Amino acid sequence: MFNKKIKLVFFGTPEFASTILAKLLTREDFEVLAVVSESDKPVGRKQELVEPAVKKLVREKSITVLQPEKLDDEFYNTLVAFEADFFVVVAYGKIIPDRFLNLAKKGVLNVHPSLLPKYRGASPIQSAILAGEKETGVTIMLMDKLMDHGPILSQTPVAILDKETYLDLSNRLAVIGAELLVKTILDYFADKIKPCEQKHTEASVCHLLKKTDGEIDWHKTAIEIYNQWRAFVVWPGVYSVIKIKNREVMIKFLELKLSDLKKEHLKSGEFLVAEDKLYVVCGEATVLEVLKLQPAGKKIQTAQEFMHGYLKI
């Protein structure tokens, strides 16, 4: 298609980024000069160092992997030497300083999993699910010095399925985003598309998730809590202190299901057992079925195991 390969430096860290990078690596018209990711992180009780997903992907390939602690002058000079056509940024995890944005000849592209300007920020997929949205999408934009503010090159809408969790939707958006990114790079490099400024007055912002975002308010309706579980199933999860036989137990709810039951005379946050199934009462007399849960300090349990052990049923 072109006389020379399009040279890329890829910035990204988690699985979402790895899926997109994998697609770029299949293209003969692209050359990935380097991969930039966050540092290896200690994980689990033993705090063993784990490599980022993108680093694992290219471990067997002859591609430079950079994991700078600081985006300083030394790193700046390293990037200058690549003479890249594009930098591609996908869930990198660090804020890229303004002066770095002019180093790539054609600009710095960002893959953002929302229909910008909606859901700018760190948790667009989770925020869309939490809000009960029926549609989200993927945006490819040119980065500028403000967060998710740059001009748009391409977008594609994506329907959110009723039972889809964050993990399901994230995986799907990564695949869709990878295809859109390839097409956008080729078209923009060939001057077939022009950047379009975002409608900044319509922007909304989502925050970096905190552990406390997972705490359940049982006065909310079943669908609101179900969406909270769908959104936060990977992290921070959803949890609550439940009173069981005059003692309080911290419980993490690992799998929930919407129910058609209505219970007018029970308090929100109370367990209910019917036909060997475990339910919990929510706001407006709505009900959720509990399929899997984990009391603090205990192993993951099915609803039946929990009922026999804690509720003595």
Q: Where do the domains of the chain lie?
A: 6-206, 211-309
**pLDDT band at 163, cuts 50/70/90?**
very high
Return the exposure string of 121-160: e unless at least 16 CB atoms fall within 10 Å of the residue's CB, then b.
bbbbbbbbbbeebeebbbbbbbbeeeebbbebbbbeebeb
CA angle 127, 170, 8 (to 5 degrees): 115
Per DSSP, the chain holds a count of helices (H) and strands (E) of: 7, 17
- pLDDT beyond 70 at 154: yes
- What does the pLDDT look like over 225-255, one tens digit per residue? 999 999 999 999 999 999 887 889 999 999 9
Is domain 6-206 in CATH 3.40.50.170, yes or no?
yes
What integer is the mean pLDDT of 178-205?
98
CA pair distance 94, 115, nearest whole angstrom? 22
State percent of the chain over pLDDT 70: 99
- At 33, the amino acid letter reads L
- What does the pLDDT look like over 20-64, one tens digit per residue? 999 999 999 999 999 999 999 998 878 889 999 999 999 989 999
Entry pTM: 0.95
**pLDDT band at 288, cuts 50/70/90?**
very high
- pLDDT beyond 60 at 1: no
Superfamily, domain 211-309: Formyl transferase, C-terminal domain (3.10.25.10)
Work out the mean pLDDT of the chain and round it to a whole number: 95
User: pLDDT value at position 2?
Assistant: 60
CA pair distance 66, 249, nearest whole angstrom? 45
The residue assigned the tokens 């964050």 is: 166
What integer is the mean pLDDT of 202-231?
97
**pLDDT band at 94, cuts 50/70/90?**
very high
